[in-house]
Amino acid sequence: MTREEKQQFTLRITQANPTEMVVILYEMALMFLQEAVQTFEEEDITAYKEAVRKVRSCINELIQSLHLEFEPAPKLLKLYLFCIRRLAYAEVRKTPEVLQEIVLVLSKLKEAYAQIAPFNPTPAVMSNTQTVYSGLTYGKGADLAEDVSGQSLNRGMLI
């Protein structure tokens, strides 16, 4: 994941409601799956294992977000556990072809959550964050820059 992609995910996370957070986790997992396939093709086994570990972390976070008392959470849990098992198999046997099964499952779930995310009226998970307006200022060489408005000493979580 490039620095710009990390910054983009960070910005989206600060403004996301719970459903949008799930979509972001799916996107991150899919990106790490692509990274795993690419690093395997480049024969960088250490980076391959690291990418697989990051996918596993995303799926574990998705598992933690489930409320098992409500449907379809138990079914989603089974899908996530299937993905974890296939990740373990792909990591041990070094067979990135198995990762395509996980891509198929997670991409379908991401599409479903992306369709329902706009209907979730819940406010952003993070509060007291800075508001960022993109496109208001341009840096040297006409590169797009961000304007951070409403700066205060009170950023992030309040204790």
What is 65-79 written as a DSSP string?
Answer: T--TTSTTHHHHHHH
Residues paired with 147 in a beta bridge: 133
Kindly state the tokens that stand for 28: 């991150």
**What does the pLDDT average to over 121-134?**
67
Residue 149, pLDDT above cutoff 80: no
**Which has the closest alpha carbon to 101: 36, 25, 53?**
36
**What does the pLDDT average to over 14-38?**
91
Residue 114, pLDDT above cutoff 80: yes
Gap between the Cα atoms of 59 and 54, Å rounded: 9
Residues 6+ away with beta carbon under 8 Å from 47: 35, 39
Kindly state the tokens that stand for 30: 């899919």
Residues 6+ away with beta carbon under 8 Å from 129: 14, 15, 155, 156
Kindly state the tokens that stand for 65: 């977000």
| Confidence tier at 156 by pLDDT (50, 70, 90) | low
pLDDT of residue 62: 95
pLDDT of residue 107: 96
Residues 6+ away with beta carbon under 8 Å from 130: 14, 148, 149, 150, 151, 155
Residue 148, pLDDT above cutoff 80: no
Read off the pLDDT of residues 53-111 as tens digits, 9 standing for 90 and up: 999 999 999 999 999 998 899 999 999 999 999 999 999 888 888 999 999 999 999 99
pLDDT of residue 154: 54
Indicate the pTM of the whole model: 0.76
pLDDT of residue 100: 93
